[in-house]
Amino acid sequence: MSQHSADPAPNSVASATAVAKRGDWWRDAVIYQVYPRSFADSDGDGMGDLEGVRSRLPYLRDLGVDAVWLSPFYASPQADAGYDVADYRAVDPMFGGLLDADALIRDAHGLGLRVIVDLVPNHSSDQHEWFRRALAEGPGSPLRDRYHFRPGKGDSGELPPNDWESIFGGPAWTRVPDGEWYLHLFAPEQPDFNWNHPAVGDEFRSILRFWLDMGVDGFRIDVAHGLVKAEGLPDLGSHDQLKLLGNDVMPFFDQDGVHDIYRQWRTILDEYSGDRVFVAEAWTPTVERTANYVRPDELHQAFNFQYLSSAWDAAELHEVIDRTLDSMRPVGAPATWVLSNHDVTRHSTRFANPPGLGTQIRTAGDRELGLRRARAATLLMLALPGSAYIYQGEELGLPDVVDLPDEVRQDPAYFRGAGQDGFRDGCRVPIPWTREGSSYGFGSGGSWLPQPAGWGELSVQAQTAEPGSTLELYRAALAARRSHADLGAGEGVEWLKAPEGVLAFRRGEFVCVANTSGESVTTPAHGRLLLASGEIAETGNEAKVPADTTVWWTTAD
Ligand code: NOJ
């Protein structure tokens, strides 16, 4: 279990030292994802920024998280909300400057919070200097070898070099005026790097050092499964790429060669003091393949997307929990649980809808039911051994905003949609801090995506000290994780007998029961009631657990 400084340290140097002493802090850490565009806007331009994040760090310290992961804030034309980086060593002016990044990192350390930044190594922006020069110099330029430029197929090269499709829809190739094509697994503004070229590896090792020298505690690696493409860029040979995605190893995803890159990166990280970490965004077909990314000489954590994609269903959850723990144990890595992020419909809205709709949903569903299940799902996640990531706003129980008008949408997938919904804007709406006021306290100049009416009732202000509020539930859960050593730590769970639709497990002095059955159930009361996501009625040694509710008990005094 991590140890935490209860009070902000008097100065950042002292507490940075305190932070550095906590070895293996990440194994059971709760890490809060900040989406800088939508967290807090300090200058009233309607867009969140680093100074906004810095000003709200005390809120995160009080919430009880261990670290913050910041989505990209680098210089970028924002074709994909900053995941199209034009300069990896600069802050985009809309978010501030390097001095703001420095101040944020120092302040976070001063409050005992670690800082993880996003690294986007699969592709750059088409406005990156390398790509612009490669385009300008034309076919045959050695700079083109740093990306995947190819002649087209067909009599006059009018067809793309292979049959790969972009994750955002449409072909994964774009033709440039001189006739060559370049590969982009995402938007055309995001050309893929050629990781066989030594300059690419050199550049990213240097970028890692740049941010490590700035004091960051780690990196979330974007598309960590995509850097290496199969030799010769072979056709996929299927017209149903979307079905294969996530179910199969693809010629452009989860190729074994990516692991050589991470072994090299690990040696760099290990040169630095302070237990710095890598977390992989790696969508692989199975949790077993995800475990390959966290072998002892590679990365530290990898998001468990199989868990994120599971329905609110005891049998399904039981299976994915077991498989996860069984695959992580042999490599000695902790599980990394996550329910929401900036790419998927928030879990409160996913669980408000029938299962089987995927992770991008455009209907509000039954909001009350969704929130009840989301709270229960969070308590279940936080009772599991390992680390957990929470996404800004989930502690407020925010739903996805499903009715954004077309004209405000920015998700590139929305505009290229071919079978994909591209509704990621719905989980990116700026969060409400206050009941009233301009953009509910997000900033003084509106917000880049409109917030729905009534958003103020979900604000931090409205939920603070409000018994039973989702914010107070998160605060209590995170406080309990700090004071009960069995929560988060360890590698396994001891399953207890439970009625159908109910999960029950013991972890040392701690018992968790999650009722997904849709009806209330009576179970033994397993000690002192620690926390519950709904109302629990206890009589003698028994407890009535309502539908869609999770309970924590402890046998400790
Ligand atoms: C994953 C990121 O989380 C997502 O937002 C982005 O669109 C793609 N990678 C491409 O960088």
Q: What is the dihedral of CA 22, 58, 343, 432, to 10 degrees?
A: 160
Q: What is the largest CA-CA distance in the chain?
A: 82
Distance 84 CA to ligand 1 centre (A): 9
> Measuring CA to CA, how many Å separate 205 from each of 30, 68, 170, 263, 290?
27, 23, 32, 12, 23
Based on its alpha-carbon atoms, the radius of gyration of the chain, rounded to whole angstroms, reads: 23
Residue 298 bears catalytic tag: no
Angle at 301 (CA atoms; ends 249, 196), nearest 5 degrees: 50
Catalytic option among 178, 271, 368, 407: 271
> Phi-psi region for residue 412, left (φ > 0), alpha (ψ -120 to 50) or beta?
alpha
83 lines ligand 1 (CB under 6 A): yes
Q: How many CB atoms lie within 10 A of CB 501?
A: 16
pTM given for the model: 0.95
Distance 120 CA to ligand 1 centre (A): 9
Residue carrying structure tokens 């703001």: 100
Distance 116 CA to ligand 1 centre (A): 16
> Measuring CA to CA, how many Å separate 374 from each of 348, 368, 371?
5, 10, 5
- Per residue in 306-329, pLDDT tens? 999 999 999 999 999 999 999 999
Query: Measured between alpha carbons, how far is 493 from 483 in angstroms, rounded to an integer?
Result: 19
Q: What amino acid is encoded at 289 in this protein?
A: R
| Residue nearest atom 5 of ligand 1, based on CA coordinates | 343
186 lines ligand 1 (CB under 6 A): yes
> Measuring CA to CA, how many Å separate 7 from each of 135, 148, 483?
53, 51, 15
What's phi and psi for 401, nearest 5 deg?
A: -90, 105
Residue 203 bears catalytic tag: no
Residue carrying structure tokens 């774009």: 174
What pLDDT is attached to residue 323? Answer: 97
* C-beta separation of 404 from 426 below 8 A: yes
Instruction: Sort 435 into a burial class: Cβ within 10 Å, 0-12 / 13-18 / 19+.
Output: middle
Structure tokens at 456: 């103020």
Query: Measured between alpha carbons, how far is 63 from 74 in angstroms, rounded to an integer?
Result: 27
Structure tokens at 431: 């969060």
222 lines ligand 1 (CB under 6 A): yes
Q: How many CB atoms lie within 10 A of CB 340?
A: 27
Q: How many CB atoms lie within 10 A of CB 420?
A: 19
DSSP assignment string, 24-60: TGGGG-EEEEE-GGGT--SSSSSS--HHHHHHTHHHH
Helix spans in 81-183 (H):
98-110, 129-137
Residue 291 host element (H or E): helix 287-291
84 lines ligand 1 (CB under 6 A): no
- Per residue in 425-460, pLDDT tens? 999 999 999 999 999 999 999 999 999 999 999 999
Query: Measured between alpha carbons, how far is 178 from 149 in angstroms, rounded to an integer?
Result: 11
- The single-letter DSSP state of residue 485 is T
Structure tokens at 516: 């997904």
For each successive 10 residues of the chain (557 residues), what is the average pLDDT?
A: 32 42 84 98 98 98 98 98 98 98 98 98 98 98 98 97 92 97 97 98 98 98 98 88 75 96 98 96 92 97 96 98 96 97 97 92 95 98 97 98 92 71 90 97 97 97 98 98 81 94 95 97 96 96 97 90
What pLDDT is attached to residue 12? Answer: 37
Distance 223 CA to ligand 1 centre (A): 7
Catalogue the long-range contacts made by 490-497 (C-beta closer than 8 Å, 24 or more residues apart): 490/385, 491/325, 491/328, 491/329, 491/334, 491/385, 492/325, 492/329, 492/385, 493/321, 493/325, 493/384, 493/385, 495/318
Q: How many CB atoms lie within 10 A of CB 454?
A: 9
Query: Measured between alpha carbons, how far is 409 from 424 in angstroms, rounded to an integer?
Result: 9
